[in-house]
Structure 1
Amino acid sequence: MIKMAQLEDIRKMYFIEDLSIREISRRTGMHRDTISKYISMKEPKPPKYKLTKERKHPVLDPYIPIIKQIIEEDKTRHRKQRHTGTKIFEILKKEGFTGGYNTVMDYLRKEYRKQKEAFLPLEFELGTYAEVDWTEAYFYLKGKETKAHIFVMKLRGSGGFYVRAYPFEKQEAFFDGHIKCFEFMNGVPYKIAYDNLKTAVKKILGGSNREEQEQFISLRTHYLYESTFCRPAKGSDKGGVENAGREVVRRFFVPYPEVDSFEELNEYLHKECVKLLEKNPKWEAERAALRPLPKIRFDGARYKEAKVNRYSMVQFETNWYSVPTIYVGEKVTVKATADEVKIQYKGTIIASHPRIYGRNQEQIILDHYLELLLQKSRALDNTKVYKPQTLAPIYEQYRRSLNARSPKGNREFVRILMLHRDYPPALVTEAVEIAMAYNVYSYDGVLNILGQLMVSNIPEINPVSKDKLQNIPEVVVISPDLSKYRVLMPGGGQ
């Protein structure tokens, strides 16, 4: 790279000494084009260094294979759940990297190209404005990669947010997300901004006007807040919650959480949200500025009329749920929330099931069929309502032993299963285990053992200690004069 002194010499030789470009090239050894460039400069400045060869990374070089491995693995992951530069830097530090953050970022810029979007700075009064949106993230549900739909509500005054995870974005989840967020915040913002979600908007009328869904209007009316909607395809209208959604995915879902249920996933998300909000200096002040919650909780369930078929099953969407067999042929009401399905008959709940998230599946409760099995006990071996794997192994062992000893073994077994309705399940299981150990194979035998277990499980009443008795004030009982009543006795009390 030419130095400023050399540039000065070249210009002096040309403008003062009146030398030709050819002669200057001969004296300096520089190419004539280079000399021409420096002579033609209107305002001579120190030449800037231009990198023509890739810079080496002596500190980073041993860790580049790790970076490349992370980048390759990220190509198979969902876009929103790839490692950021900060995450990669943290991983390298754990591996022993002693270089700086900028060293890592300089290298990563070759791999990541990200266009930055500009936003106007906004400011909101506490408690007045919130934004709601859905985002998606993946996690391991019982070891299987599963998509979660994340409901995000962000308060713009403090920037605090709360989230809930669902297997879908249906109306029941949309309403449940509001209910859970409002109750966590212990209040309701005065205005909430939404995207043009189908669960809220029936039709876009133009400009800011919307024809809203009736159910959504009932939610808004219950909590007494105003709604506003973004322009179509303009996510920047609610940029706060968009950013919160990205933060949720990056912070809470990298790496993938591993859980056994959506309930467990939501417990994890709750704890993570609380950790963040504890560091937010404006959070408590914003909560205090919210509109108070109504006294009655909003009913966000979806209702549907149905008829119980001959297999004592009720259909909701593409799935089937069992009810007690006495309701076969009856018309019932299905009440579906985000995570539960309840079936009502004339206002009384006759069955409750965890909601099925797949398609064309069944949810069967054995207890619903026990009366029918009592009448048709021979069918126990082939009916799909009895699944031995859903009970403790001792039950199937005991059933087989009953059948080996009596032609009515299945009937006796069904009666034993009915004991779960009146006794603690753990005690019934213990009674069956004891009966098996002592070769007692009958319903009456199990019932007798169960009765003894119930007596032995009554908690003992501990006698009052002498120390406590000393603290009880002495009570003096005055005996009445009974002689006055002698006159009432035969013979005048003589």
Structure 2
Amino acid sequence: MLDIQRIIQLKARGESNRSIARLLGINRKTVNEYILNLGGADKDFSELSRLDEQSLAAILPEPKVFNKPQAYQDLQDLVPVYQKALKKSGFTYLNIWEEYRKKYPDGYGYTQFKEHMQQAFAVQQASFHMEQIMGEKLLIDYAGDRFILTDRESGTTRPAELFIAILAGSGYTYVEASVSQQKASFINSVRRSLEFIGGVPKLIVTDNLKSAVTQAHRYEPELNKDFKAFALHYGTAVLATRARKPKDKALVENAVRLVYQRICFALKDQVFFDLHSLNAAIRPLLDLYNQRMYQQRQTSRAQLFLEQEQPLLSPLPAQAFTLITYKQATVQKNYHVFISDDKHYYSVPHEYIGKKVELRYNESLLEVYSSSTRIASHPRSRKSAGFSTISSHMPDNHQFMQGWNMTDFLAWAKSKDPIIHQYVETVFAQRAHPEQALRSCWGIQRLGKIYGIDRLKSACIRAADFEQYGYKILESILGQNLDQQDHDEEQHYLPVHDNLRGATYYH
């Protein structure tokens, strides 16, 4: 769905189908088909960009499964393996083809096989100078060498990663030290690089980092869900370079080398105790690097950026991207879901008890979704074993209970009769905590509705005579009509108790 939303977003911006396919790394026929399906919605792309996931899903047909063209695709996947084999002694096109036909009996014949192999090798060995377009690409990578941070008290050291981003058109560069290459750290570094350049390019080109790519692939690497959401938020596309192909990212590889020379070398003898001080030392050296004149051009990276590239960047969104964590959960019997990160429970409408839901949360907000529809939203809480509960999520009887406290029950009892008030006061007094008496008092109030206040008053008098205080004793008295006996007569009766069966039990 994120891919579909990006297609709509780029189409609303005026991009062609071919351009969208190139920016998103999606087959052009796939882009054409999605746009054709969206055309039946009788909405322009600006209107479609404002629809939520559920509304878009209703417009699109069920997804189809596309199979790769077998013979050609299978052979292309084997080219790197066969290329290595041919470098070894004794391997020829013929014996490799025989091995290939054993694996794929319906594959190419020998002549076509050899032709395709030779063509693939020729293409692999070719090099191409790519003219970089202003405002199109931001290349990002991590340097191989890392800075060292030293603990001020213990003297122990730990590494800090060096993140580098470079605009392909002007060469304008951003550098920062970060905690790690983990997803949260990586996405925040990319966000800060966009804030540094003050705009958004059409395409972000990244290495096959685990923080960005879920599954590496020669042709169509799969981006992780969080980085797709990041790209959607900033209105850009992401392209992952091929694994172990330095030519795909030659510009940023060269930038890494220059950063070593102009920034890292200048800081090599300094000791840093935290990331803040390290990045504070990097920033003035980075500014000098961007202002340094190119050797063969009478201009600098900063000048090229300000004059030619910055005006072509899309504006930053009003709010910065916040990393969202996605998890699946089952709504518990208490109509809450549990977030293990917080060790905290959050409520959802009670109708969803037992159902699977999707949790989406960032540093400050948790949202609960069912079938792409948001059903609950809570501020994040770090209170361990705590509960965040919204009253409207409760069943009616639970909402009623939540709305009452000790003061309310005492006021109700006082409004009915002084004896009932005294009885309810004693119920609260005998419990270790007022909340323990709330359910009992709720039951007493219910008895008053069923049997009437006069009978409830008589039952309270009888129960108090036996120093029994609570809902069950009153229910027993009223249920057996013992409250309607004369006061003198009731003195001859044993206290009411479930285990006292009476003479009639033996008849």
TM over 0.5, yes or no? no
Structure showing the higher helix proportion among its residues: 2
State the TM-score, normalizing by the size of structure 1: 0.38
